[in-house]
Amino acid sequence: TEKISVEGDKQNGQLTFAQACDKYVEMKSNILSPNTVREYSLTKNRLSPWFVEMLIDDISQVSINKQINELSVRLSPKTVRNYHGFISAILGTFRPDMKIYTTLPQKRKSEPYIPSDEDVRRILDEVRDTEYYVPIVLACYGMRRGEILALTPEDIDEDIVHIRKAMALDSERKKVTKSTKTTDSERDIIIPQEIADQIR
């Protein structure tokens, strides 16, 4: 395993979990989306102080279980699973020989609210002459928030929107425009001419 030096001669297992987090984010900064880098940086601060101050070599399955148990008191099962995934990624990088077997909180069945056609019509009527009208129409056509924020007149041909980029916040909360989340997210959609004209 490659030894990663931090603060002089500290190597892999002698890093605190917090230091390993910073090193992990630094190693992935050009690969992950700005939003993911920002979220990873924030995640470290949301874990328990006693856990992030532990040396990587001292972290055991027991300490992971204790941390997950503490998080489960105040966070949703999905969020706890995300945090556990983050912890596992850090330990997988700096202690690749460690096997992690954690019992995670049971997932909750999600029943998302799906607005009816009447709901959508009423919302559009309510916002028709406001700054929210165009973004809400675009959302109705399946565009994500970041894609709408990154949209410029150059992305529109007649009534076709070419979706190739999205806007997100980086680790310093600055807006950055990047490629879409996946190549499958690149797509073209047809919108009403009225909306295309309003965007221009």
Q: 162-182: per-residue pLDDT in tens?
A: 999 988 887 777 888 888 767
Q: How many CB atoms lie within 10 A of CB 109?
A: 5
The answer to whether 167 and 146 are in contact (CB under 8 A) is: yes
Spell 114-143 as b/e; 16+ CB within 10 A means b.
eeeeeeeeeeeeeeeeeeebbbbbbeeeeb
Give the type of residue at 82.
N
d(Cα 1, Cα 56) in Å, to the nearest integer?
A: 15
The whole-number average pLDDT for the span 123-133 is 92
The whole-number average pLDDT for the span 17-41 is 85
Sign of CA dihedral 13, 15, 18, 22: negative
**pLDDT surpasses 60 at 73:** yes
DSSP codes of every residue in 6-72: ETTTEEGGGSBHHHHHHHHHHHHTTTS-HHHHHHHHHHHHHS-HHHHTSBGGG--HHHHHHHHHHHH
- 23-37, 56-70, 96-110, 154-168, range with the lowest pLDDT: 23-37
Q: What angle do CA 32, 174, 146 make, to 5 degrees?
A: 65
The whole-number average pLDDT for the span 125-147 is 92
- Supply the mean pLDDT for the chain: 87
**pLDDT surpasses 60 at 51:** yes
pLDDT for the residue 5: 47
pLDDT band at 58 (very low <50, low <70, confident <90, very high): very high
**In 141-180, alpha helices (H):** 145-150
**pLDDT surpasses 90 at 3:** no
> 80-127: per-residue pLDDT in tens?
999 999 999 999 999 999 999 998 988 877 778 888 999 999 999 999
pLDDT for the residue 125: 93
**pLDDT surpasses 60 at 135:** yes
> pTM surpassing 0.85?
no
Give the three-class secondary structure for 197.
helix
**pLDDT surpasses 50 at 56:** yes
Give the three-class secondary structure for 190.
strand
Gyration radius from the chain CA atoms: 22
Q: Would you give the end-to-end CA distance of the chain in angstroms?
A: 54
**pLDDT surpasses 70 at 191:** yes
The whole-number average pLDDT for the span 156-162 is 91
**pLDDT surpasses 60 at 7:** no
pLDDT for the residue 107: 80
